[in-house]
Amino acid sequence: MNILHISASPRTAGSHSARLAAAIVERLQGIHPRAQVVLRDLSAEPLPHVDAAYADALAGVARPGAASDAAARSDALITELEQADALVIGTPMHNFTVPSVLKSWIDHVLRIHRTFAPSPEGKRGLLRNRPVYLALASGGLFLGEAARQPDFLTPYLRAVLNTMGLYDLHFFVLQGTVRSEQAAAAWQQALALLDQRFPRAA
């Protein structure tokens, strides 16, 4: 089994999303002891944002240099995704949606004729469906009756992943992490959900 672990937290320590994603990877490794994990830390090694060279590559403009490099980078990231049997994404919510480093990764892998194709009914995913585990963290509350801010994170990620053909989505959410008492309660709920989804051997 191959696990692709995408980390989008800007913090190297104390990140709730990174800690939760690592716990998910650990549970998957418990079920699949021989699993191979590929970690792509988007904050430690950020991808360049899409530019004219990438646009040229998508448009099929045959130019040496930057355009070919952009296409090769996108191909490598898509191949990495195609080879994964499970995908784990750990990300905070930034200004109601995804961090820019995760948006850049999405822009490189959400690519016409590679991960999706147009059709009369709309975009059709080209990737093999496989489990996607999403570890999301937010300082505020964006889900449930107590939510006081909009959520463009979960619907956006769902739409992006569905567009590529990934429908087996599992969301693990930590909310209110700026307050210690809310963070503790959120962690208890997240760990209970982990135990439910990934029961430990007796």
Output the pLDDT for position 145: 82
Sheet holding 36-41, edge to edge: 36-41, 2-7, 86-92, 132-137, 169-174
The answer to whether 116 and 125 are in contact (CB under 8 A) is: yes
| Sole residue written with tokens 């209110």 | 176
Distance CA 38, CA 23 (A): 15
* CA–centroid distance for 5 within its chain: 8
Output the pLDDT for position 199: 81
The answer to whether 42 and 8 are in contact (CB under 8 A) is: yes
Output the pLDDT for position 113: 92
* CA–centroid distance for 75 within its chain: 18
Output the pLDDT for position 63: 64
Longest pairwise C-alpha distance within the chain: 59
pTM: 0.92
Output the pLDDT for position 143: 85
Low-confidence ranges of the chain (pLDDT < 50): none
CATH number for 2-44+80-197: choose from 3.40.50.300, 2.40.30.10, 3.10.310.10, 3.40.50.360.
3.40.50.360
